[in-house]
A and B are shown apart, each in its own frame.
Chain A
Amino acid sequence: MNGSQIKVVIDTNVLFMSIYDRNNKAGKIIDAAINNKIQLFSPDSVKTELERVLKRELSFSQEEIKETFEALPVTWVEKSIYEEKIKETKVKHKPDKPIEALSIVLGCDILSADAHFKNRLDINNLLKELEEL
Protein backbone atom coordinates (compact mmCIF):
# COMPACT_ATOMS: atom_id res chain seq x y z
CA MET A 1 0.00 0.00 0.00
CA ASN A 2 1.18 3.52 -0.62
CA GLY A 3 -0.17 6.96 0.16
CA SER A 4 -1.01 7.90 -3.43
CA GLN A 5 -3.47 5.05 -3.95
CA ILE A 6 -7.11 5.81 -4.68
CA LYS A 7 -9.27 5.28 -1.57
CA VAL A 8 -12.90 4.26 -1.81
CA VAL A 9 -15.65 3.22 0.61
CA ILE A 10 -17.33 0.17 -0.92
CA ASP A 11 -20.95 -0.84 -0.34
CA THR A 12 -22.33 -4.35 0.20
CA ASN A 13 -24.15 -4.43 -3.15
CA VAL A 14 -20.88 -3.89 -5.06
CA LEU A 15 -19.17 -6.58 -2.97
CA PHE A 16 -21.98 -9.02 -3.76
CA MET A 17 -21.79 -8.13 -7.46
CA SER A 18 -18.06 -8.85 -7.46
CA ILE A 19 -18.58 -12.21 -5.77
CA TYR A 20 -21.49 -13.16 -8.03
CA ASP A 21 -19.56 -12.48 -11.23
CA ARG A 22 -15.78 -12.17 -11.02
CA ASN A 23 -15.60 -10.80 -14.56
CA ASN A 24 -17.99 -7.86 -14.21
CA LYS A 25 -17.05 -4.24 -13.41
CA ALA A 26 -17.29 -4.80 -9.65
CA GLY A 27 -15.01 -7.84 -10.03
CA LYS A 28 -12.47 -5.66 -11.84
CA ILE A 29 -12.48 -3.20 -8.92
CA ILE A 30 -11.77 -6.06 -6.50
CA ASP A 31 -8.92 -7.27 -8.74
CA ALA A 32 -7.51 -3.73 -8.79
CA ALA A 33 -7.52 -3.79 -4.97
CA ILE A 34 -5.69 -7.13 -4.97
CA ASN A 35 -3.16 -5.57 -7.38
CA ASN A 36 -2.67 -2.67 -4.90
CA LYS A 37 -4.07 -0.05 -7.29
CA ILE A 38 -6.93 0.97 -5.02
CA GLN A 39 -7.67 0.76 -1.30
CA LEU A 40 -11.14 -0.42 -0.35
CA PHE A 41 -12.70 0.40 3.02
CA SER A 42 -16.06 -0.45 4.51
CA PRO A 43 -17.70 -0.02 7.89
CA ASP A 44 -18.01 -3.02 10.20
CA SER A 45 -21.81 -2.73 9.77
CA VAL A 46 -21.33 -3.79 6.13
CA LYS A 47 -19.18 -6.71 7.28
CA THR A 48 -21.96 -7.82 9.65
CA GLU A 49 -24.54 -7.38 6.87
CA LEU A 50 -22.48 -9.54 4.52
CA GLU A 51 -21.98 -12.15 7.23
CA ARG A 52 -25.69 -12.38 8.08
CA VAL A 53 -26.72 -12.65 4.41
CA LEU A 54 -24.20 -15.41 3.72
CA LYS A 55 -25.18 -17.29 6.86
CA ARG A 56 -28.96 -16.92 6.74
CA GLU A 57 -29.69 -16.87 3.02
CA LEU A 58 -26.93 -19.09 1.65
CA SER A 59 -26.14 -21.26 4.72
CA PHE A 60 -22.43 -20.43 4.70
CA SER A 61 -20.58 -22.09 7.60
CA GLN A 62 -18.42 -20.04 10.00
CA GLU A 63 -15.33 -21.36 8.21
CA GLU A 64 -16.70 -20.32 4.79
CA ILE A 65 -17.54 -16.86 6.15
CA LYS A 66 -14.02 -16.56 7.59
CA GLU A 67 -12.55 -17.51 4.19
CA THR A 68 -14.81 -14.95 2.48
CA PHE A 69 -13.45 -12.13 4.64
CA GLU A 70 -9.88 -13.32 4.12
CA ALA A 71 -10.37 -13.35 0.36
CA LEU A 72 -11.94 -9.89 0.07
CA PRO A 73 -9.36 -7.07 -0.15
CA VAL A 74 -11.33 -4.76 2.12
CA THR A 75 -10.22 -2.94 5.28
CA TRP A 76 -13.10 -3.12 7.76
CA VAL A 77 -13.43 -0.05 9.94
CA GLU A 78 -14.82 -0.20 13.48
CA LYS A 79 -17.92 1.73 14.48
CA SER A 80 -15.96 3.77 17.07
CA ILE A 81 -14.01 5.40 14.21
CA TYR A 82 -16.98 6.62 12.11
CA GLU A 83 -19.99 6.89 14.50
CA GLU A 84 -19.21 10.51 15.48
CA LYS A 85 -19.60 11.54 11.82
CA ILE A 86 -23.06 10.00 11.45
CA LYS A 87 -24.66 13.29 12.47
CA GLU A 88 -22.89 15.03 9.56
CA THR A 89 -24.26 12.66 6.92
CA LYS A 90 -26.71 13.85 4.25
CA VAL A 91 -28.16 10.53 3.12
CA LYS A 92 -31.77 10.25 4.29
CA HIS A 93 -31.99 6.45 4.58
CA LYS A 94 -30.71 5.77 8.12
CA PRO A 95 -29.24 2.28 7.46
CA ASP A 96 -26.92 3.83 4.81
CA LYS A 97 -25.45 6.43 7.18
CA PRO A 98 -22.42 4.38 8.38
CA ILE A 99 -21.16 4.22 4.77
CA GLU A 100 -21.37 7.98 4.28
CA ALA A 101 -19.94 8.61 7.77
CA LEU A 102 -16.90 6.50 6.93
CA SER A 103 -16.44 8.36 3.63
CA ILE A 104 -16.37 11.62 5.64
CA VAL A 105 -13.75 10.21 8.03
CA LEU A 106 -11.55 8.99 5.17
CA GLY A 107 -12.22 11.96 2.87
CA CYS A 108 -13.07 9.75 -0.07
CA ASP A 109 -16.03 8.81 -2.29
CA ILE A 110 -18.43 5.87 -2.18
CA LEU A 111 -18.77 2.98 -4.59
CA SER A 112 -22.36 1.78 -4.40
CA ALA A 113 -25.15 0.56 -6.65
CA ASP A 114 -27.56 2.80 -4.70
CA ALA A 115 -27.93 6.18 -6.39
CA HIS A 116 -28.91 8.14 -3.27
CA PHE A 117 -25.35 8.81 -2.07
CA LYS A 118 -24.30 12.32 -3.16
CA ASN A 119 -20.58 11.49 -3.28
CA ARG A 120 -21.08 8.28 -5.25
CA LEU A 121 -18.41 7.29 -7.75
CA ASP A 122 -19.20 6.29 -11.30
CA ILE A 123 -17.75 2.79 -11.67
CA ASN A 124 -16.91 3.34 -15.36
CA ASN A 125 -14.91 6.49 -14.56
CA LEU A 126 -13.17 4.72 -11.70
CA LEU A 127 -12.19 1.79 -13.92
CA LYS A 128 -10.88 4.22 -16.54
CA GLU A 129 -8.84 6.00 -13.88
CA LEU A 130 -7.44 2.67 -12.66
CA GLU A 131 -6.48 1.62 -16.18
CA GLU A 132 -4.42 4.78 -16.53
CA LEU A 133 -2.36 4.03 -13.40
Chain B
Amino acid sequence: MKTISIPEELHKKILALKIQEETKTSAELIEKLYMEYRKKKLQELSDLFRKRMKEKEISFDQLLKKSKEIRKEISDEWFPD
Protein backbone atom coordinates (compact mmCIF):
# COMPACT_ATOMS: atom_id res chain seq x y z
CA MET B 1 0.00 0.00 0.00
CA LYS B 2 1.10 3.57 -0.76
CA THR B 3 -0.16 6.88 0.59
CA ILE B 4 -0.86 9.92 -1.55
CA SER B 5 -1.55 13.46 -0.34
CA ILE B 6 -4.39 15.37 -1.92
CA PRO B 7 -5.96 18.78 -1.19
CA GLU B 8 -8.84 18.87 1.30
CA GLU B 9 -11.39 19.93 -1.34
CA LEU B 10 -10.48 17.05 -3.64
CA HIS B 11 -10.71 14.65 -0.71
CA LYS B 12 -14.30 15.82 -0.09
CA LYS B 13 -15.15 15.33 -3.76
CA ILE B 14 -13.71 11.80 -3.71
CA LEU B 15 -15.71 10.88 -0.59
CA ALA B 16 -18.91 12.23 -2.19
CA LEU B 17 -18.22 10.28 -5.38
CA LYS B 18 -17.44 7.15 -3.37
CA ILE B 19 -20.95 7.26 -1.89
CA GLN B 20 -22.51 8.06 -5.27
CA GLU B 21 -20.69 5.20 -7.01
CA GLU B 22 -21.26 2.81 -4.09
CA THR B 23 -17.61 1.81 -3.89
CA LYS B 24 -16.29 0.40 -0.61
CA THR B 25 -12.96 2.23 -0.57
CA SER B 26 -11.31 5.24 -2.18
CA ALA B 27 -8.85 2.84 -3.84
CA GLU B 28 -11.77 0.99 -5.44
CA LEU B 29 -13.19 4.31 -6.64
CA ILE B 30 -9.85 5.41 -8.14
CA GLU B 31 -9.52 2.01 -9.85
CA LYS B 32 -13.00 2.49 -11.32
CA LEU B 33 -12.13 6.00 -12.53
CA TYR B 34 -8.92 4.66 -14.07
CA MET B 35 -10.88 1.99 -15.97
CA GLU B 36 -13.27 4.64 -17.30
CA TYR B 37 -10.31 6.80 -18.33
CA ARG B 38 -8.83 3.90 -20.32
CA LYS B 39 -12.17 3.30 -22.06
CA LYS B 40 -12.34 7.01 -22.92
CA LYS B 41 -8.82 6.86 -24.40
CA LEU B 42 -9.85 3.83 -26.46
CA GLN B 43 -12.90 5.68 -27.73
CA GLU B 44 -10.65 8.59 -28.80
CA LEU B 45 -8.40 6.09 -30.55
CA SER B 46 -11.41 4.54 -32.28
CA ASP B 47 -12.58 7.97 -33.46
CA LEU B 48 -9.12 8.74 -34.87
CA PHE B 49 -8.92 5.30 -36.52
CA ARG B 50 -12.26 5.82 -38.31
CA LYS B 51 -11.35 9.40 -39.29
CA ARG B 52 -8.10 8.23 -40.91
CA MET B 53 -9.86 5.35 -42.69
CA LYS B 54 -12.29 7.84 -44.18
CA GLU B 55 -9.50 10.25 -45.21
CA LYS B 56 -7.50 7.43 -46.79
CA GLU B 57 -10.66 5.94 -48.37
CA ILE B 58 -9.75 2.51 -47.07
CA SER B 59 -12.39 -0.02 -46.02
CA PHE B 60 -12.09 -2.23 -42.96
CA ASP B 61 -11.71 -5.34 -45.15
CA GLN B 62 -8.92 -3.67 -47.13
CA LEU B 63 -7.19 -2.80 -43.87
CA LEU B 64 -7.35 -6.42 -42.69
CA LYS B 65 -5.98 -7.54 -46.05
CA LYS B 66 -3.03 -5.12 -45.70
CA SER B 67 -2.51 -6.40 -42.18
CA LYS B 68 -2.17 -9.98 -43.47
CA GLU B 69 0.40 -8.84 -46.03
CA ILE B 70 2.37 -7.07 -43.32
CA ARG B 71 2.15 -10.18 -41.12
CA LYS B 72 3.83 -12.19 -43.88
CA GLU B 73 6.48 -9.50 -44.28
CA ILE B 74 7.26 -9.64 -40.52
CA SER B 75 7.34 -13.43 -40.59
CA ASP B 76 9.88 -13.36 -43.45
CA GLU B 77 12.04 -10.85 -41.56
CA TRP B 78 11.84 -12.43 -38.10
CA PHE B 79 11.66 -16.12 -38.95
CA PRO B 80 13.57 -16.71 -42.21
CA ASP B 81 13.85 -20.38 -43.18
Chain A interfacial positions (CB closer than 8 Å to B): 12-13, 16, 18-22, 30-31, 34-35, 45, 48-50, 52-53, 56-60, 64, 67-68, 70-73, 79, 83, 86, 94-98, 113
Q: Using a CB–CB distance below 8 Å, which chain B residues touch chain A?
A: 35, 38-39, 41-43, 45-46, 48-50, 52-53, 56, 58, 60, 63-64, 66-68, 70-75, 78-79
Listed from nearest, the 10 A-B pairs whose CB atoms lie closest are: A95-B75, A58-B52, A95-B71, A71-B41, A95-B72, A52-B70, A71-B42, A53-B67, A34-B38, A22-B46
**CA of A16 to CA of B75 in the docked complex: distance in angstroms?**
19
Do B63 and A53 have beta carbons less than 8 Å apart?
yes
CB of B46, distance to nearest CB on chain A (Å)? 5
The answer to whether B64 touches A94, judged by C-beta atoms less than 8 angstroms apart, is no
B residues in contact with A53, CB < 8 Å: 63, 66-67, 70
Asked whether A34 and B39 contact (CB < 8 A) given A19-B49, A21-B46, the answer is yes
The answer to whether B52 and A30 have CB atoms under 8 Å apart is: no
Residue pair A49, B42 in contact (C-beta under 8 Å): no
Tell me which of A31, A53, A67, A98 has the highest count of chain B C-beta atoms within 10 A of its own C-beta.
A53
Query: Per a CB cutoff under 8 Å, which of B45, B48, B70, B79 touches A49?
Result: B70
Q: Would you call A57 and B42 a contact (CB within 8 A)?
A: no
When distances are taken between beta carbons in the complex, the residues of chain A under 8 Å from B48 are: 60, 64
List of A residues within 8 angstroms of B75 by Cβ: 45, 94-95, 97-98
- Residue among B39, B42, B63, B75 with the highest chain A CB neighbour number at 10 A: B42
Q: Which residues on the A side are within 8 Å of B66 (C-beta)?
A: 53, 56-57
Q: Which of B46, B60, B67, B75 has the most CB of A within 10 A?
A: B67
Asked if residues B45 and A19 are in contact (CB atoms below 8 Å), the reply is yes
How far, in Å, is B16 (CB) from chain A's closest CB?
A: 23
- Provide a sorted-by-A list of 5 A–B residue pairs whose CB atoms are within 8 angstroms: A16-B64, A20-B46, A58-B52, A71-B45, A95-B74
